[in-house]
Homo-oligomer: A and B are copies of this chain.
């Protein structure tokens, strides 16, 4: 976690540092990212950065566990309480997509926990974040199961399936829609309006529909499926 000095920093300076850190760690893997670069671009002496953070990992950890989640929460807001389980899930998914579209860098940072790495400390960090996310999602799905909207023999397995769908799965779909590669999108921090809310809603619907119904063709309903 940052040292206290970090929080007492003049707003402008702190913002500069945070911004460049987000850019660096969103654009690059932890292993590829460089504290030196961050400092250089933020125009802050390397020595000073070490006044604010224990080390490279400390900064990264703070971004991943504090700053990125905070900014995401700010954007995404409270989950809707209206409608049935599936409606709420759809709303939830749609917000995630909006976040990705409007703040690609932050979204990428929020997803960095899935990055593979040989560094054991970073791996530990990533693992913790992933597990927290899965736990949260599991709770959501549990609610769905209790309201018997959702039926899964093994909720842990189901949670992982759903997580990949609304995580990397949807991201992929969105990028395809944008006709862009992730990195082109990252280059511009600003919003990307190329994927309007209407289309977003349609995609969210498709995802949730998939989760809800799968791909089995039910038209010619006959015979017995499990």
Q: Chain A: residues with CB nearer than 8 A to chain B?
A: 27-29, 31-32, 86, 108, 112, 114-120, 123, 127, 141, 144, 148-154, 156-158, 160-165, 167-169, 172-173, 176, 181-183, 203, 206-207, 209-220, 225-226
Contacts and interface: CB of A to CB of B under 8 A. Distances in A.
Nearest to A24: B118
Q: How many copies does the complex hold?
A: 4
A97 to B, nearest CB: 13
A45 to B, nearest CB: 12
A118 B24 CA distance: 10
Given A116-B182, A172-B160, A210 B219 contact: no
B218 A118 contact: no
A168 B165 contact: no
Nearest to A115: B116
Contact of A215 (B31, B117, B162, B226): B162
A213 B224 CA distance: 12
B32 A152 contact: no
B216 A215 contact: no
A86 B212 contact: no
Contacts of A32: 31, 117-119
Contacts of A161: 165, 169, 173, 207, 210
Contact of A148 (B119, B152, B219): B219
A160 B152 contact: no
B213 A214 contact: yes
B226 A209 contact: yes
Contacts of A156: 173, 176
A189 to B, nearest CB: 16
Pick from A116, A150, A173 the residue with the most CB of B within 10 Å. Answer: A116
B212 A214 contact: yes
